[in-house]
Amino acid sequence: MIDDDLTQGPLSGHFRRIALPAAIGMLFSTLYNVVDTFYAGWFGTQAQAGLSVGFQAFFILVAIGFGTSSAMSALVGNAKGRRDAADARHLAAQGISFAVVATGLMILTALLTGPSLIALVSEPGAYRDAGQGYFNLLILSLPGFIIGYSGNGILQARGDTKSMQRALMVAFFVNVGLNPLLMYGIPGVVPGLGFNGIALATVISQSGVAVFILWRVFGRAVMQDLRAAEFIPDLAKFREIMAQAFPAGFALLVTFSSGFIVQYALKSYGEASIAAYGITMRIEQLFLLPALGITIALVPIAAQNYGAQDSDRVRAAFHRCWIMGVIMCTVAFPFLWWGGAWAARVFSDDAEVIRISALFLKVEAVILPLYVVLFSINSLLQALKKASWTMWIGIYRQWIGIALFIWLFTVPIDWGLTGVRIGIAAGVGTGLLLSLAVVVYVARSRIGSLMPARIA
């Protein structure tokens, strides 16, 4: 398979070719989660609340996989931009080895800390028990998530987002069929697992995704002349990968763990509010998908051009990315503002869950464009090999900002559930201001400035 050269040709064509498959793949990934939430609703609000807390705890553990994916996209992309095929191949092999080591560490972490994480954001009872059982089975899918997404970073660096798109599409349809089969079994033949069948379906389908992605990685031109010795951990390469993966993964971990802050604030309002929060996140993700596809495309495009020392093209790519993303999210406003209650009814017939979901989605309608600019900045910092800044921005926005503003709007200013959502919005808004200051500073030292001389 031939790898794409993103340093030549119109940027618009590269964005379209990379972003569209990435967005479609993420659509099916989000629909995958929507299906899980839908099936959990068959077991009631307690099961949906359990799914929300169990899923939140689990995704903290796979943050390293997404971090390694971003690292591979940036590092291998930089090497390709420099026309250094040997270094690109060695980095790819080391990235896979790094993912295997990280998987083992995350499984151990899950076994040691899982119950404490779930207990932190739930009250004793049926929904905590449901969340713990779901989490325990989901641990088995960690290899699929971490290794699969790490391999996908290698593909993205070469301009290939179609492989993951196809894998996630197949995984979605497999999940649709496996969920009811594993939940209810085959009468008289195979017993069902009930609610935990949702978790086992994820284990099977995500393991399949990882196998397919690795098969595609080893078919790329970058892996020609690969030797087994290149997989032996190289401390220098591990440090290079860690320097990119840890900040990106930690920033994502902060993002996921911020859900614990929100769920901790919501638990005093009852299980309906926690179930509504999980539903809201699924619906929000659907409307973010086109913009997320564009911000994913920015990493390999900017990374290759930064490696080729074409600063003007890097700047042009960044501006094209956030402008297109903001336009897409603005179009989503009326659907989220006026259609939130209708969308929530797809997942629940609980009137309180529907009411709270509609409230949350009104706030999301307003702040959705802010997310896109934030994600664009994070992608540019990754491509410029300044991923550590994404970690510090995330710590402020997702921990300090959200905790501070939720407290402000729910304790001194007693706005209840509305205060929780406005607190999140305030954290996002102030985090964006911080991000803009950081990216202007980094751009001056790396690419001269942030303002483009031209847009290709």
pLDDT in tens, 141-165: 899 989 998 898 888 887 788 888 8
- State yes or no: pLDDT of 456 exceeds 60: no
Residue 190 dihedral angles phi and psi, to the nearest 5°:
-130, 125
Residue 164 dihedral angles phi and psi, to the nearest 5°:
-70, -35
156, two tokens: 């993205």
Kindly give the residue spans of alpha helices, DSSP state H, lying in 185-270. 197-217, 235-266
- Helix H or strand E encompassing 186: strand 185-186
240, two tokens: 């290079």
- State yes or no: pLDDT of 443 exceeds 90: yes
pLDDT in tens, 72-109: 888 888 887 888 888 888 888 898 999 999 999 989 98
Residue 222 has what pLDDT? 63
Query: Which of 427, 266, 264 is CA-nearest to residue 359?
Result: 266
pLDDT in tens, 350-374: 889 899 999 889 888 888 899 889 9
Report the first-to-last Cα separation within the chain, whole angstroms: 27
Q: What percent of the chain has pLDDT over 70?
A: 95
CA atoms within 13 A on the CB side of 295: 27
411, two tokens: 């304790």
Q: Rounded mean pLDDT of 116-143?
A: 80
Which DSSP state fits 3?
Answer: P
Around Cβ 342, how many Cβ atoms within 10 Å?
11
Residue 338 has what pLDDT? 92
- State yes or no: pLDDT of 186 exceeds 80: no
- Higher pLDDT: 251 or 20? It is 20
Q: Rounded mean pLDDT of 206-212?
A: 93
Residue 1 has what pLDDT? 45
| Spatial contact of 54 and 138, defined as CB atoms under 8 Å apart | yes
pLDDT in tens, 408-438: 999 899 898 888 889 989 998 999 999 999 9
Question: At 124, which amino acid appears?
Answer: P
186: which strand partners?
A: 190
- Higher pLDDT: 86 or 207? It is 207
- State yes or no: pLDDT of 2 exceeds 60: no
What's the CA gap between 74 and 62, in Å, rounded?
Answer: 19
pLDDT in tens, 38-59: 888 788 777 877 777 777 778 7
Q: Locate tokens 């910092």: which residue?
A: 381
